Amino acid sequence: MKRVRVFAPATVSNVGPGFDIMGFALEKPGDEVEVSISRGTKIRIRKITGEGKRLPYDPLKNTATASIISLLKSLDIKVGLDVVIKKNMGIGSGLGSSAASSVAGVFAVNKLLNLKLPKSELLKHALNGEIISSGTLHADNVATCLFGGFVLIRSYDPLDIIKIDYPKNLFCTVIYPQIEIKTNEARKILDKKVTREVAISQAGNASGLIAGLLTGDVDLISRSMKDFIAEPKRAKLIPCYNEVRIAALVNGAMNCNISGSGPSMFSFSTSERDAKRIASAMKEASLSKGLKSVSYISKINRRGPVVIK
Ligand code: HSE
């Protein structure tokens, strides 16, 4: 096998009360990374297309190749690789763009070199790529992208990733208003410490969300999707936050929250028809504040990364 091309999905992290510990994968959008064997021992980025024209070609600075280099180094493998990256979502979108490239990179190399490494091993290296691009350690996008489905990070040290089942009829509407929010900036504005009241409220809602997903209790999911840690601070970074949220709720969304560190926002509903109506309303609300947006309607993506032609 001389060449492997991988699609890795966008992810919605935090999911309301699960700041840094929850996420789910989308069917679309997602990034594509193609890796082929070349002469010598250099890792080279040949081309970056799509939304990532500003991304670095330096393999140590680009999230896709940094994660590949971390993987090869850990196994002491010296091989020449040519990498082509197709970004299908914006940088700073809140949809786990860097995580998707990072995961696609290590997943492709695992297949190309027939390494047969388990996902738990790939995770470490994909995380190294993510740290390079965002400068922070948060695994909610990377782990979710790699494992697919709905993911809970029960612990960071040691990493303990749990896949959570969810109702089959859950549809997600995402809108991506066309502004950029840098994750590290959106983390700087958060309080370093939380009060006991906040810790209790957050734990209650996070537990409620997981219980609601596992039992298929839509009302419990809806009322649990509240964040007391990040969203109250970050809402002001998104000029259309209130309008989009209200539009989603009025149109029957189960709730409406920021995706990752924003500006994308998402909501759940229980039919595709509802999801489409909610998408139009959210987009219109964003436009009312002068922001064009792109919308995506998707079920939760169970598979994570896949090899494509
Ligand atoms: N959990 C991270 C944050 C996700 O909210 O900062 C960033 O996409």
Answer yes or no: are the C-beta atoms of 76 and 39 closer than 8 Å.
no
> 139: helix, coil or strand?
coil
Instruction: State if residue 276 touches ligand 1 by the CB under 6 angstroms criterion.
Output: no
CA 20 to ligand 1 center in whole angstroms: 6
Q: How far apart are CA 66 and CA 60, in angstroms?
A: 5
Closest CA to 117 of 68, 161, 158: 68
Ligand 1 atom with least separation from CA of 14: 1
The catalytic position among 11, 144, 183, 231 is 183
- State the pLDDT confidence band at 299, using cuts at 50, 70 and 90: very high
Strands (E), 130-183: 150-156, 159-164, 171-177
Is 180 an annotated catalytic residue?
no
Closest residue by Cα to atom 1, ligand 1, is 20
Helix, strand counts (H, E) of the chain: 10, 11
- Closest CA relative to residue 159, chosen from 107, 122, 133, 191: 122
Question: Is 140 a residue whose pLDDT tops 70?
Answer: yes
Q: Is the CB of 140 under 6 A from ligand 1?
A: yes
Nearest to 24 by CA among 103, 141, 195, 173: 141
23 lines ligand 1 (CB under 6 A): no
| Residue 20 Cβ contacting ligand 1 at under 6 Å | yes
Ligand 1 atom, smallest distance to 134 CA = 7
pTM > 0.85: yes
The overall average pLDDT reported for the chain is 96
pLDDT category at 54 given cuts 50, 70, 90 is: confident
pLDDT digits (tens, 9 = 90+) for 156-189: 999 999 999 999 999 999 999 999 999 999 999 9
Residues in the chain: 309
Q: How confident is the model at residue 135 (pLDDT cuts 50, 70, 90)?
A: confident
pLDDT of amino acid 1: 67
pLDDT tens for 230-283 read: 999 999 999 999 999 999 999 999 999 999 999 999 999 999 999 999 999 999
Determine the distance separating the centroid of ligand 1 and the alpha carbon of 94, expressed in angstroms.
Answer: 8
130 is catalytic: yes
Report whether residue 14 contacts ligand 1, using a CB cutoff of 6 Å: yes
Ligand 1 atom with the shortest distance to the CA of 260:
8
Answer whether the bond into residue 17 is a cis peptide, omega within 30°.
no
Q: Is the CB of 183 under 6 A from ligand 1?
A: yes
- Strands (DSSP E) found in the chain: 3-13, 22-38, 43-50, 80-87, 150-156, 159-164, 171-177, 257-258, 265-269, 293-299, 306-308
127 CA → ligand 1 middle, Å: 13
The string of pLDDT tens digits covering residues 56-114 is: 999 999 999 999 999 999 999 999 999 999 999 888 999 999 999 999 999 999 999 99
**Ligand 1 mean position to 16 CA, how many Å?**
11
CB–CB of 288/162 below 8 Å? no
Q: What is the pLDDT of residue 130?
A: 83
Domains of the chain from N-terminus onward = 3-164+302-308 (3.30.230.10), 171-299 (3.30.70.890)
Atom of ligand 1 nearest to the CA of 234: 5
**Tokens standing for 308?**
């494509």
Tell me the residue ranges of DSSP E strands in 61-132: 80-87
